[in-house]
Amino acid sequence: MPNPAALAWNAARVFVTACETGAHYVWLVDRIADVLGPEYRRALIQTRHRVVNPRCYDARLTEADAWRIRLERALERRPGAVAELRELFIQADARLAAHSDPHWRSA
């Protein structure tokens, strides 16, 4: 079983990075609702707005940390969601790695 805290952090970084893209974001916003529910979809929409229109230099890091906390809490409430979240993370990570520049992992 994957470490939920590590999964939350890795997924958070990838999700925030996906918010900066077009097609990956559109794909992820629908998938996250399927896996975690509509409130996570709304949160991802807000994250996209904050990273595309940043008000501070560390918007990506701030959003990644907020997502880490959000995902840790989701996994505490729903331990059975670990496998689904892990699969979503793997898919999102692979999509980004296949279609982006080398600095994408620097969230």
Return the pLDDT at 100: 64
Round to whole Å and give the CA distance between 99 and 42: 25
Return the pLDDT at 16: 97
Round to whole Å and give the CA distance between 53 and 36: 25
DSSP state of 56: S
pLDDT band at 98 (very low <50, low <70, confident <90, very high): confident
Round to whole Å and give the CA distance between 104 and 64: 13
Return the pLDDT at 102: 53
For 6-25, what is the mean pLDDT?
94
Is pTM beyond 0.85 here? Answer: yes
Q: Above 80 in pLDDT, residue 58?
A: yes
